[in-house]
Amino acid sequence: MADGGWIVVIGVSVVNLCTRSIEPSFGLLFGDLLKEMGVETTGAAIIMSTLDALINFSGLFVGPIIRAFSYRKVSLLGSALSGLGLILTYPASTMAHLLITYSIINGLGVGLTSSSTFVALNNYFVKRRGQAVGFSLAGTAFGMMLMPQAVKLLLDLYSFRGTILILGAFALNGIVGSSLLQPAKWHFVPQSKTEEELGYHQEMETIKETEDEDAELAEGQTLITNKVTSDLAIKTLDELSKPGGLARKSTFPRNFSTMSFMGNRKRKNSIDSASSVSRLDFTGSSIHLQFDSKEIDEPMYGSARQLRRNMSYPGVQLSPQHKIIQVHPTPVKKKPKKTAWQKIVVFMDFDLLKDPIYLNLVFGLSIFYVAEQNFKMVTPFFFKDIGYDKSDVALFLSVQALTDILARLILPPICDRLLISKRTLFMTGIFVLGICRSVLAEQTEWTMIMIWLFVCGFFRGAALINFTITISEYSSLEKLPAAFGLHMVGKGLFVVVFGPLLGQIRDKTGSFPICLHSQTFLIMLCCLAWTIEYAVRYFRTRSAESDTDTTTT
């Protein structure tokens, strides 16, 4: 299982490298084309916001699709769509063309691969989930380090149209990585059970005859026989106690301590050894089973034997007097039919939206995601605005990605050993990251920019290794595809609302530093919302503990 799990990590890393590493180089790749179209920062924000919206809105149906097919097939489809979207962007000359090919087709493909690869990792890893996610995301960070240099080189050689064709062909290599995402059940090793575990029974339980034993019983040996079609012949225990009245092989399921039968591994031997005990339990008592013949028709006679199996007579307190147990058929209550909306809620797991903690979790992750995506889009324009050329911009992005990779490789083993939730670690990381980015926004010197990009990259990696794990940490494995999918939808909604707003802030103010500070403000909103939740939960826990202490006293 371990070997198969790390192969899946390699596959996920390849998929991320091929489909997501181009995103930070958007401004570098599309900058000249957007300038020719006469589109300002707002146009770039619309393209990126639409891309993110498709990536995340795919989560609305990716959960049911993964359940219906498999995460491997969904990842294969996503990788193919991502490469196709980039290739079709080749002749783009209008905003509409870019939105359809790059934002919609490519975005849908990236969304499918993101969800399916995340579910694949969580099916393989539990204890080392942080390391697995960190190593798999290292593929993305490695691509982010190399891609700016590669994009600059390709643009110099082939211009935009040749570059986008090459990048589209590169994205199709994600199909190779997707093929490595084998279903986890292929690698399950069945646990061997000892003889004691196989023969274990509960201390008190009903042991029933098997179908083979039931077939061996003669009809005259059963407690209830069918003499005529409308009457039931009733045998009292007085009659059964006579020779031949009750066969050695018991017809009653019995409640008794199974600990005394641990040495007997054969069911028949266990039942035979307790048959005399069963008769002694009824000494001095007589019992009749009387059925209401008006409510029982012919098929009921055939079920009398089944009824005999499910009645546990030693649990009935009997007196020496004559007692009658009347058994009447219980009407089966029909379950009310679910409405179409209720079926949709169950199928899509919309009941998660009733959980306030989950909603607050999605809010924080979504608001941070908007700030992160906008930062990746704006920074190339910011560096150009303060006088740096494409070579410097490519170097800046590569340095940031380098420290990002270091954080993803170094920190996951440490974080997995800390007795701190991944959500708390993520919140700490983004808090420091927001402050560092605001400091970076005020720098203009080459050396200081390099230093703060180095720091920002490290804390970005420290935060993102725990970004998706906060969802898997909160959700069960069965609910994980739906929880992650709805979380992606939340991110998409926030990107649609706040993405263009951040672009408008830049265009209205004419200042990139103010735009970067507004991103830090969104990050701090996430920290504030989660801190309030932590405080409320803490005081509720203290209040509940004090009430418990008072009650105990």
Summarised one tens digit per residue, pLDDT across range 142-184 is 777 788 888 889 998 998 899 999 999 999 999 998 988 876 6
Query: How many angstroms separate the CA atoms of 83 and 110, rounded?
Result: 9
Considering the domain architecture, whether residues 375 and 495 belong to the same structural domain is answered as yes
What's the pLDDT at 206?
Answer: 45
Is the pLDDT at 375 greater than 80? The verdict is yes
Considering the domain architecture, whether residues 143 and 66 belong to the same structural domain is answered as yes
Structural domain includes residue 342: no
pLDDT band at 530 (very low <50, low <70, confident <90, very high): very high
Burial of 86 (0-12, 13-18, 19+ CB in 10 A): buried
Summarised one tens digit per residue, pLDDT across range 217-252 is 444 444 444 444 444 444 444 454 455 554 444 444
Is the pLDDT at 139 greater than 50? The verdict is yes
Structural domain includes residue 439: yes
Distances (CA, A) of 497 to 39, 42, 51, 94, 525: 20, 13, 13, 23, 15
Distances (CA, A) of 89 to 15, 166, 548: 20, 11, 64
Query: Which is it for the CA torsion 414, 429, 439, 375, positive or negative?
Result: positive
What's the pLDDT at 301?
Answer: 43
Query: How many angstroms separate the CA atoms of 13 and 117, rounded?
Result: 9
The CATH code of the domain that includes 160 is: 1.20.1250.20
Considering the domain architecture, whether residues 185 and 200 belong to the same structural domain is answered as no
Query: Which is it for the CA torsion 308, 311, 312, 318, positive or negative?
Result: negative
Burial of 382 (0-12, 13-18, 19+ CB in 10 A): buried
Structural domain includes residue 145: yes
Residue pointed to by tokens 């097939």 = 73
User: CB neighbours (10 Å) of residue 553?
Assistant: 5
> Among the listed ranges 4-18, 134-148, 366-380, 452-466, which one has the minimum average pLDDT value?
134-148
Considering the domain architecture, whether residues 279 and 228 belong to the same structural domain is answered as yes
Pick 3 or 474 by higher pLDDT: 474
pLDDT band at 348 (very low <50, low <70, confident <90, very high): low
Q: Which two tokens stand for residue 211?
A: 């179908």
Q: Which two tokens stand for residue 438?
A: 């605001």
Q: Which residues pair with 324 in a beta bridge?
A: 288
Q: Tell me whether strands 254-257 and 287-291 are parallel, antiparallel or unpaired.
A: unpaired
Q: Amino acid identity of 112?
A: L
Structural domain includes residue 516: yes
pLDDT band at 338 (very low <50, low <70, confident <90, very high): confident
pLDDT band at 495 (very low <50, low <70, confident <90, very high): confident
Query: How many angstroms separate the CA atoms of 330 and 443, rounded?
Result: 80
The separation between the first and the last C-alpha atoms of the chain, rounded to the nearest angstrom, is: 51
pLDDT band at 472 (very low <50, low <70, confident <90, very high): confident
What is the mean pLDDT of the segment spanning 99-121? 88
Is the pLDDT at 271 greater than 60? The verdict is no
Considering the domain architecture, whether residues 176 and 211 belong to the same structural domain is answered as no
Query: Which residues of 83-184 form beta strands (DSSP E)?
Result: none
Half-sphere exposure of 299 (CA within 13 A, CB side): 1
Considering the domain architecture, whether residues 360 and 501 belong to the same structural domain is answered as yes
Structural domain includes residue 344: no
pLDDT band at 70 (very low <50, low <70, confident <90, very high): confident
> Among the listed ranges 8-17, 105-114, 375-384, 470-479, which one has the minimum average pLDDT value?
470-479
Summarised one tens digit per residue, pLDDT across range 73-92 is 999 999 999 999 999 999 98
Is the pLDDT at 402 greater than 80? The verdict is yes
Query: How many angstroms separate the CA atoms of 505 and 417, rounded?
Result: 42
Domain assignment of residue 253, given as a range = 195-327
Domain count, the chain: 2
Structural domain includes residue 372: yes
Considering the domain architecture, whether residues 379 and 487 belong to the same structural domain is answered as yes
Structural domain includes residue 202: yes
User: CB neighbours (10 Å) of residue 194?
Assistant: 8
Question: Ramachandran region of residue 159, left (φ > 0), alpha (ψ -120 to 50) or beta?
Answer: left
Is the pLDDT at 412 greater than 70? The verdict is yes
Considering the domain architecture, whether residues 164 and 201 belong to the same structural domain is answered as no
Contact in structure between 474 and 530 (CB atoms under 8 Å): no
Considering the domain architecture, whether residues 35 and 138 belong to the same structural domain is answered as yes
What's the pLDDT at 436?
Answer: 95
Structural domain includes residue 104: yes
Contact in structure between 457 and 450 (CB atoms under 8 Å): no
Q: What 8-state DSSP symbol labels residue 93?
A: -
3-state SS record for 341-393: HHHHHHHHCHHHHHCHHHHHHHHHHHHHHHHHHHHHHHHHHHHHHCCCCHHHH
Considering the domain architecture, whether residues 502 and 376 belong to the same structural domain is answered as yes
Considering the domain architecture, whether residues 247 and 323 belong to the same structural domain is answered as yes
What is the mean pLDDT of the segment spanning 120-146? 73
Query: Which is it for the CA torsion 225, 227, 232, 234, positive or negative?
Result: negative
Q: Which two tokens stand for residue 328?
A: 């009447």
Is the pLDDT at 266 greater than 50? The verdict is no
Considering the domain architecture, whether residues 356 and 252 belong to the same structural domain is answered as no
